Amino acid sequence: MDLHGKDLICTQEWAVEELEAVLSLAAEMKRERFTHRYNNCLAQKTFFMFFYNPSVRTRQSFECAATELGGHAQFLEPGAMRLKTATTAGETIEDAAEVMSRYAVGLGIRILEDKISAYGEGDDLLREYARWAEIPIISMAHDKYHPCQGLADIVGLREHLGQDLKGKRLLMMWGHGALVRSWCSVQENLLICSRFGMDITLAHPEGYDLDPEVIAAVGENCASHGSRFEIIQDSKAGYEGAEVVYGRNWMSPQAYKDGVLDKPGEIEKALRHPQWICDAEKMALTNDALYIHPMPVDRGHEVTDEVASGPRSIIYDVAENRLHVQKALMALTMGSLEDV
């Protein structure tokens, strides 16, 4: 399957067969990490990483991935570059994308909630780069989607639940917290898990609805598999029979005021819901469920230490899988075809 040059902004835009190609290669690369035949497929090649927002795992995992493929990942900070914005003169996206395409074999972009003035602007930015670039554009997390995280989630779930996830029950649970988090990881997980046939319960308090277009797509994905999709506003009921619990905070649709993310207001509002925490008592209602989270974990708010560090938590497995998924993705979309 030829994926060379293909952008990855959201997994929903890839065929399941294309996603399976990445997942299969990621599993192979994990098994044969330092002896793998693809370890030179990015030799002498550079992957640009455009970080509007800082990270822990994202920069580490992409740099490790490029190195293990024989290439180099170059960190770029937009604030240190003369780029055109709504208020400043500078280089346009068209010019920047065209030039970077002459230097590197791929461009990753990370832009989250506090670097935009309204939901959707980050997604628009990635798509504008994709319009002009001649190299693949990879989302390293933006305001709408986090495709590499979604792929890593699937690898982790398959490792613990088996290859066939159809009919497995996922609870996506909002968690109260002192962090103001975008919808990207949550929406990506819902989309990709529904593509693989999982039954999904989305639970959140009133006023924490996600993107209606994404929710509609999740419903359509589930319908195509004959899977169940329900949305509830109960902090406990969804745990009954769940096989996977994804407990994470996300911001409300009213998070932006006059073009600015209202962090204090969002935190104050979220902390009104202390009952929305994933704890051992609720996990005891599940079908011995796995606990997953994209990290960083807001311990004591989203989830208790007992659960996050417990025997059914696979948060570190999933974090590791970011490396292997990204290696596979880079090899397939940027590597020399004869090597991949």
CATH of the domain at 265: 3.40.50.1370
Q: Same domain for 202 and 192?
A: yes
pLDDT of res. 338: 58
Strand order in the sheet with 72-76: 72-76, 46-51, 106-111, 137-142
Give 72-125 pLDDT, tens digit per residue.
999 999 888 878 676 677 899 999 999 999 999 999 999 999 999 999 999 999
Three-class DSSP category at 178: coil
Q: Same domain for 195 and 211?
A: yes
Three-class DSSP category at 185: helix
Give 150-198 pLDDT, tens digit per residue.
999 999 999 999 999 999 999 999 999 989 999 999 999 999 999 999 9
Closest CA to 334 of 97, 22, 104: 104
23: pLDDT strictly greater than 70:
yes
Q: Same domain for 186 and 307?
A: yes
Q: Same domain for 156 and 210?
A: yes
Q: Same domain for 210 and 235?
A: yes
339: pLDDT strictly greater than 50:
no
Q: Same domain for 27 and 123?
A: yes
Q: Is residue 304 one of the residues assigned to a domain?
A: yes
314: pLDDT strictly greater than 70:
yes
Task: Please give the Cα distance from 266 to 262 (Å, whole number).
Answer: 6
Question: Tokens at residue 10, please?
Answer: 């959201």
Q: Is residue 206 one of the residues assigned to a domain?
A: yes
Q: Is residue 162 one of the residues assigned to a domain?
A: yes
Tell me the pairing of strands 260-261 and 256-257: antiparallel
Going by pLDDT thresholds of 50, 70 and 90, the confidence category of residue 340 is: very low
Phi–psi pair at 20, nearest 5 degrees: -65, -35
Overall number of domains in the chain: 2
Going by pLDDT thresholds of 50, 70 and 90, the confidence category of residue 293 is: very high
CA angle 147, 153, 159 (to 5 degrees): 140
204: pLDDT strictly greater than 90:
yes
264: pLDDT strictly greater than 70:
yes
Mean pLDDT of all residues in 121-140? 98
Q: Same domain for 194 and 54?
A: no
Q: Same domain for 133 and 170?
A: no
pLDDT of res. 80: 82
Q: Is residue 6 one of the residues assigned to a domain?
A: no
What residue numbers bound the domain in which 189 lies? 149-318
* DSSP state at residue 39: T
Alpha carbon distances (Å) from 14 to 45, 191, 240, 319: 25, 11, 32, 22
Q: Is residue 2 one of the residues assigned to a domain?
A: no
Q: Is residue 5 one of the residues assigned to a domain?
A: no
Q: Is residue 46 one of the residues assigned to a domain?
A: yes
Q: Same domain for 280 and 199?
A: yes
Strand order in the sheet with 244-248: 229-232, 199-203, 169-174, 244-248, 290-292
Please tell me whether the overall predicted TM-score, pTM, comes out greater than 0.85 for this model: yes
For residue 224, count CB atoms less than 10 angstroms from its CB and return exposed for 0-12, middle for 13-18, buried for 19 or more: exposed
Give 207-231 pLDDT, tens digit per residue.
999 999 999 999 999 999 999 999 9
Only one residue has tokens 């779930």, namely: 157
Q: Same domain for 217 and 273?
A: yes
Mean pLDDT of all residues in 259-281? 97
Alpha carbon distances (Å) from 92 to 51, 55, 257: 17, 25, 27
